[in-house]
Structure 1
Amino acid sequence: MQRFNPAEAMMRTYHTLARITINKADPSRMMQELAADFTFGGDKGDNRERIEQAQNYGFTATPLPRDEQQQGGVQDGKASAIKGEAAEAIVAFMGGQRNHPVVLALDDRRHRPRGLKPGENAQHDDIGQMTLMRRTGLFLLSLDSKDKDGKNVERMVSLRHVEKKKQERPKRHSDVNQRRAHDRLPPLTLGQFEAQQAQEAEDFKHEGESVNTEVRCTKGRIEFRVGDTVVGYYDKGAKRWTLIGEVRLGSEDADHPVYGVNGGVGMTTQPSGDGAVLVKAPKPGPPTSMDTEP
């Protein structure tokens, strides 16, 4: 059991927690790592490149980098570099040791949604997209907006069933080079290895390698898809449904689910207008004895 005198205990307590501002994040690691600037007791301290960020199981988020640095202000008669705004975090030093800080909590004043009511919560990003739990219901939201270059970006909301494999865990540097030696390939430097691992993580399709079925909403359309094929959609501008494939109206076992469909003869209800059902028939004409009432 270790014992500390009052001065040692005070210093270890003082150095147990600290506030940092985030420069950038590396999400390719087994546990996400952050590069950040430290502030100790109100005074600027050092900066670190690889601080582990502990996150709750089942949830992960990559914070935005610090805003671009700007030149401004004068200090000691010289222009000084003022660092841009950044996400902030609280770090803990286990046992007061500075050699292994761990991020406990992280937030970003620039983009956190404000004004939620008690009991409400949201998962959000910096452009206004969010999963929002209001007291009135659950909302999954996206929106069109401009990117940093001023170009319009059309976004979507997608509910999909997909095919994809579990993402592989990063390999060890020594194991990769051992395999490369077996294949008579030159070894990778540590920098090359880390760059390769980061690229593989970035290229992984979390949204699915292929899509089985999907409902997709954009600003102007609601789409139903099978793979990449649109099998039906509602066009907001035209106020029109388009359905591809066999369409049955009425009960599944009805012999004549729609008036005028049987035998491809006749039309259904009214040919146009609200509530009309249009059926492509080779020889439209009046009802026959094979048809039934709507």
Structure 2
Amino acid sequence: MIRLDGVGQVFEGREGRVVALEEIDLHVKPNEFVTLIGRSGCGKSTLLRLIAGLLPPTSGAVSVAGEPVTRPRRDVSFMFQRPALLPWRSVLSNVMLPVEIDGGDGDRGRAAYRDRAHDLLDLVGLKGFERRLPYELSGGMQQRVSLCRSLIRDPQVMLMDEPFSALDALTRTELSEELQRIKMELATTIVFVTHSIEEAVVLADRVVVLTPRPGRLREVVDIDIPRPRSLGQNAHLTEVAQISGLLHGLLAEKSVDDLRPVDEVRP
């Protein structure tokens, strides 16, 4: 579903070049859940933006569903760290925003999407909140609205950039479980960025570990734990802890550039 072949990304700044990503080769299968972890600044969010078509790669090629990515696609959704809901629009109206931007496929199409919006809100436990404004919702409820907005157009691919990072631990756990349930019901390919190693293990089919900048693929770890998973389930605690320990070790390893003399490290 997603292919990155030899992808590199360089940014030109006032103080010189910054190499964000280097020689990334990653293939994500249809309906797979992949999480990306790595130290701050290693290029995780940049990688999502390349897949989304929000940023052209400096080198290499990115494709989705067999087609080169040259611009944003309607079948690829992007969920950010914060809900980014429009405060003057109701919950239902916020969910419907991507449909309005795209034209809605005519009146009949808009009606069908409105029905889908109601179904999605019901799916995430927000039935009855359709007419509420964002300020009337908790942070977790707002992220549920954002999740529905990401799903409204039946995306083939969902890109999620630390969407639960600002939430308290209990709400974060609840939404992680909710996302797994939705994933099993709606066949969607997901690439999810997180700084929480345990969250990465609980959610993923595979965890991709990136090196410190420039971001390279350090390791790809398969997660073979039955779903649904939860940190609150004793049956999973030992397996999650073992894999999390492995990932902690990989993140703690020094990169090639860390081992070079300072004057040899690229700017």
* Shared fold per TM-score greater than 0.5: no
Report the TM-score when normalising by structure 1. Answer: 0.18
Structure number with higher helix proportion = 2
Structure label with greater radius of gyration: 1
Report the TM-score when normalising by structure 2. Answer: 0.20
Bigger RCO of structures 1 and 2 (CA < 8 A, at least 6 apart) = 2
